[in-house]
Chain A
Amino acid sequence: MGESYKIVVIGAGPGGLSAAARAAESNVSHVLLESSPKIANTIQSYQKGKHVMAEPGILPLRSPIEFEAGTREAILEAWHKGILDQSVNIQYSAEVSAITGEKGDFSITLSNGETIQGEHIILGIGMQGNPRQLGVPGENAPFVQYQLDDPDEYKDETIVVVGAGDAAIENAVALAKHNKVYIVNRRDEFARAKEGNLNLILANIDSGDVECFYGTNPSAVEMTEDGETPGIFKLSTPTGEADVPVHRIIARLGAIPPRGLVESFGIEFPNDDPNSIPALSSQYESNIPGIYIIGALGGYPLIKQAMNQGYEVVEYIEERDVRPADHDLIAAKVSKVNPALDVDDILHEMQERIPVFSDVNALQFRELMLESDVHMPKKGEVIFAKNDYTNSFYTIFSGDVDIEINESLTVASGQGNFFGEMSLLSGRRRSATVVAGDDCIVIETPRRTMNKLRASVEAVQRVLDKTFIVRTIQQKFAPNTPLVALEPVAEKTQINQYAPNEVIFSQGDEGDSLHFIRSGSVTVSIDVDGHEVVMSYVPANQSVGEMALLGNTVRSATVRAAVKTETLSIDGESFNTLMDSVDGLRESMQKMADERSRQNVSTQESTEDGDDLLGFLIGQGLGEATDVLLIDENLCVACDFCEQACAATHNGTSRLNRKAGPTYASIHIPTSCRHCEDPSCMKDCPPDAIQRGGVGGEVYIGDNCIGCGNCQQNCPYGVIQMAYRTEASDNFWRWLLFGWGEKPGSKAAAKSDGDTIKRAVKCDMCIDQNGGPACVRACPTGAAARVSPEDFVNLMS
């Protein structure tokens, strides 16, 4: 039986440190277990000198340990000082492998076999997971490391980098400047790497700066007693065993997500979605009483949030009454609803009244409200208009609204209902105009928050899907039919998910359903002399396969998902019954099908000479674009005015690279943001700085960017850069007449505005410029145009 503590904190990240420090401060017996030899692993892994921000700025910090925006080193030093000052009982290299027992009597087993007893457990292990180990004998040798802080620290060593991802490549190339570097790749190519890194490593291998072992697995690490190098790395290569004497081995094999470990403790996740978050009470307690979850693992990725939670959890365990740090912020949002009521009562009332939120636990709802806004629009005020590019979700707390679907159809919706789910789910423009009615109070929740909620609360997802289906059928096919009459069709409608390039149906298949594309986009192709030629591109909010419903049972074309796509497949039989009962429906379906056939014929004419421009564009990922810059090489004189104009209008950094990118026939796709329908860059932005909005639906980065670089990494098209903010200086006449200063629009013309961190920059479609994107406006020859995928077909004429 090991030592016993009241509070066992697992994970010395911001949350865990803050919790342990608070426990120490209040003289509670505690231990902080950290699996690695250092605190704050995630922050340790940042590059040297990286500036770490303290978002959200409005949230006060509540922790015995200091934290304010600053360099990685300054923050780590403050935290070290904090744990010393508070005499935190911390154990390093204490990896937890199992937790058993119950509240008041937990038994925590460490991977070295030791056990520790604890009454309460605070789990703050983050989302990064532990680095994947080499998995061979000797993997714990002192010269084997799983991260690299500063490549310039090592000189004249023989170093083997293991891995084929971006981290491994970047490390290998950086180390190769001063060391003899080998890279070990399990496979025969660097398939996982970004294109830039792929070219980099291949160039380095070609030039001999890095030597590569392809198709090779490590077999053992051996220590040498008195050799020149501390160890020998045994490798099994396709041509046999190889022994490499090494000073250092750097394994960059990715991380093991922590979910498996967490589940083994008995903590439940609502579903298999990798983004889902365990259900927690308003006091951060998980489904196992006595185990609390804080920080990123509980869905709070920002440092300050985690630190506040660490503090609060200790207060809850000690049964001290403490209001969450965000209390005042929430009060400011909701108390206008009824100033006489307490905040918690208002929140409770909201959940009571709005059924879609009734299955959400109190903590999640609190978080949701922190990010939501309460609006009290006057009667007649437009909440959002049809074709707006907003995508937030609205619920009605009181009063009612009018939803104007088209000129002849307006539906009223009242307390407890919701609207805006169409754009939320499809990422497309608003499909109706919503006008406030009497005494209207609505809650607006951002898309990101709702998506998080959908991933973690199944009931929310179910309700949204059901409503989406029936409202889609009404809007798209039977606008004048009451929702009740559509129920039979809706019930038979299925939601399908397709991976990029997956076939939805094939030419010649028997067709029994229509697919309405709810998100993503598809290509329609036919077989021309044995190969598939793309005939048309169909974006979200439209349907394919309507011919199947009109009695044509054999599919005339193959439909593939261009990107990750979700469709509603509407069953033919029940739809036919509907067509019999709704006047004009059959005719309008027939018209839609005729239009599609006509378009296919005209595309076929232009594609018959083997020109597959549409296929090329879709192959370049433009299927998920909403607006892309295309350059006609027959017109481009390479003057680079597009780049200069971009730099001049965007603080001195051009967000497009004209030369880079592929060309097909005369169409060139420069490296520039395509404003994806469901942008990968928006998936993991801790301060929620990347937004989509405005009439053009542009994706832009706000001023609250913390420079973490996630969006840059997540963008598959390399259009986001990290750059210092600078100011463009304009001195045309001086430059022209006297040659003073820099040419307007050139990079050197920009001067730093004193900001010291690199932040993410990307095309914002000149959101704040009159007259549209500067790149297109500045093109002297008409070579640059911004095109929406719906218009791709026109490029072929």
Chain B
Amino acid sequence: MAMHTSFLTHAKGRYLWIAVLVAILSSLAFIFDEPTEPPNGGTPLGYTLGTIGAIMILWLAYLGRRKRNFVKGWGTTVGWVSAHVYLGCALLVIATLHTGFQFGWNIHTLAYVLMVCVILSGIFGVVAYRTYPGARNELKKTKSLDDIFLQVEEVDAQLLRMASDAPEDIRNILNSAIERTVVGGGFLDQVRARDNSVVELNGRVESNKQQQRALDYLLGRARELQGDQLKLLHDIIRIFNTRKRLLSIIRDDIRMHAVTSVWLLFHIPITFALIASLIAHVFAVFVYW
């Protein structure tokens, strides 16, 4: 038995089976139901599915509270997440059957669309949670992000030390490339792993994406220098290349980290919008029907 069990395989997939069962039962009920009017939310089965769906939405949303119940709380968080994921998927079936496939430009369909958005963003989250942590670990070769930042700092210091013996232009470009390297940035920059680094070259500020501009310059200079100076430059290029690789790892890691949290920024606010529209939907049904 492995020690760690993910939320997908938690309790041998207990909630997967429950969710499948719920989906099959509601589908069977829908197929064999013979309402007097065309299937819709107002038939007895429609009301039943609607009530179950509404309760499920509130229960699913309650995870946000439950996972912060650190002191007390029934069951484990991973169990709740497992149930949340699978029953959330089952909700798609239940709610769709509840609509009786009747859609329109109204508050009712708005609630449905919002719910679908929440579920889809949730599915994206599940995929991100199951793929990115492993990919990040693989990328960093079991080091922590802090370790890699430290490595970059060490490489920077080493480059600057070496630069003190190099010709002035090389010293300047190394200084400038190091000083004006940018990682992270705004949220969009993080998600897209955009590289805003620049370098000052002959008085002009140029983009130094992937440190390429500076590297090109150094490679260009390698054709001109000779002897000890060339040897030193080769060493500098080698180390500069290591730095480039480390920075790219950092950016990729930040990107994946940002993506693993970005979906929640959709998932949660739309959930609130869903709950609001759900209240409006229920209110509309009972007051104006």
Contact = CB atoms under 8 A, between A and B. Distances in A.
Contacts of B1: 794, 797
A794 B3 CA distance: 7
A774 B67 CA distance: 11
Contacts of A665: 142
Given A633-B137, A795-B2, A744 B7 contact: no
B124 to A, nearest CB: 13
Contacts of A782: 4-7, 10, 78
Contact of B78 (A633, A771, A781): A781
B75 to A, nearest CB: 8
B257 interface: yes
A553 to B, nearest CB: 36
A777 B134 contact: no
A634 B137 contact: yes
Interface string B53-77: 0000000000011011011110011
Contacts of B7: 780-782
Interface string B31-69: 000000000000000000000000000000000110110
Contact of A633 (B3, B70, B77, B142): B142
B132 interface: yes
Q: Which of A664, A781, A785 has the most B CB atoms < 10 Å from its CB?
A: A781
Interface in A510-526: none
A778 B76 CA distance: 7
A636 B133 contact: yes
Interface in A641-676: 641, 644-645, 648-649, 659, 662-666, 668
Contact of A745 (B68, B76, B80, B81): B68
B251 to A, nearest CB: 17
B129 interface: yes
Interface string B73-90: 100111011000000000
A695 B67 CA distance: 27
Interface in A775-797: 776-783, 785, 787, 791, 794-795, 797
A769 B71 contact: yes
Contacts of A785: 3-4
A770 interface: yes
A770 B6 contact: no
Interface in B4-46: 4-7, 10
B3 A780 contact: no
Given A637-B129, A666-B134, A780-B78, A774 B146 contact: no
A635 interface: yes
A649 B71 contact: yes
Interface string A593-628: 000000000000000000000000000000000000
B4 A632 contact: yes
Given A630-B3, A666-B137, A777-B76, A637 B260 contact: yes
B144 interface: yes
A780 B4 contact: no
Interface in B137-172: 137, 142-144, 146, 154, 157
Contact of B68 (A636, A668, A732): A732
A778 B3 contact: no
B263 to A, nearest CB: 11
A58 interface: no
A784 to B, nearest CB: 8
Contact of B133 (A633, A732, A774, A797): A633
A206 interface: yes
Contacts of A797: 1-2
A638 interface: yes
Contacts of B68: 644, 732, 744-745
B142 A641 contact: no
B142 A778 contact: no
A794 B76 CA distance: 22
A664 B136 CA distance: 14
A771 B142 contact: no
Given A641-B77, A777-B76, A781-B129, A663 B142 contact: yes
A630 B3 CA distance: 9
Interface centre among B2, B67, B78 (most CB of A within 10 A): B78
Contacts of A668: 142
Interface in A410-425: none
Contact of A780 (B2, B67, B73, B137): B67
A745 B134 contact: no
A644 B69 CA distance: 10
Nearest to A634: B134
A671 B80 CA distance: 27
B2 A777 contact: no
Contacts of A644: 68, 70
Interface string B109-142: 0000000000000000000010011101100001
Contacts of B71: 648-649, 730, 769, 774
A559 B146 CA distance: 37
A445 B144 CA distance: 46
Contacts of B80: 780
B66 to A, nearest CB: 10
A287 to B, nearest CB: 55
A668 B144 CA distance: 10
Nearest to A206: B157
Contacts of A636: 133
Given A644-B70, A781-B6, A787-B3, A776 B76 contact: yes
Nearest to B68: A744
A771 B3 contact: no
Given A779-B78, A782-B10, A785-B4, A732 B70 contact: no
Contacts of B4: 630, 632, 635, 782-783, 785
A634 to B, nearest CB: 4
Contacts of A781: 6-7, 78, 81, 129, 133
A659 B132 contact: no
Nearest to B141: A663
Most buried by A among B5, B68, B157: B68
A617 to B, nearest CB: 11
Interface string B218-247: 000000000000000000000000000000
Contacts of B132: 637
Contacts of A648: 70-71
Interface string A326-361: 000000000000000000000000000000000000
Contacts of B134: 633-634, 666
Contact of B77 (A632, A659, A769, A780): A780
A770 B64 CA distance: 21
Contact of A779 (B77, B142, B257, B260): B77
A185 to B, nearest CB: 21
Contacts of B2: 794-795, 797
Given A663-B137, A769-B71, A638 B81 contact: no
Nearest to A776: B76
Interface of A: 206, 630, 632-638, 641, 644-645, 648-649, 659, 662-666, 668, 730, 732, 736, 744-745, 769-771, 774, 776-783, 785, 787, 791, 794-795, 797
19 contacts: A634-B133, A635-B4, A637-B133, A638-B133, A659-B144, A664-B142, A732-B68, A745-B70, A771-B73, A777-B73, A778-B67, A778-B70, A778-B77, A779-B78, A780-B78, A781-B81, A782-B6, A782-B10, A791-B3
Given A633-B136, A663-B144, A787-B3, 13 more contacts: A635-B133, A641-B67, A644-B68, A649-B71, A663-B137, A665-B142, A732-B68, A777-B70, A780-B67, A782-B6, A783-B6, A785-B4, A791-B3
A-B residue pairs, 7 tightest by C-beta: A648-B70, A632-B4, A645-B70, A634-B134, A663-B142, A633-B137, A782-B78
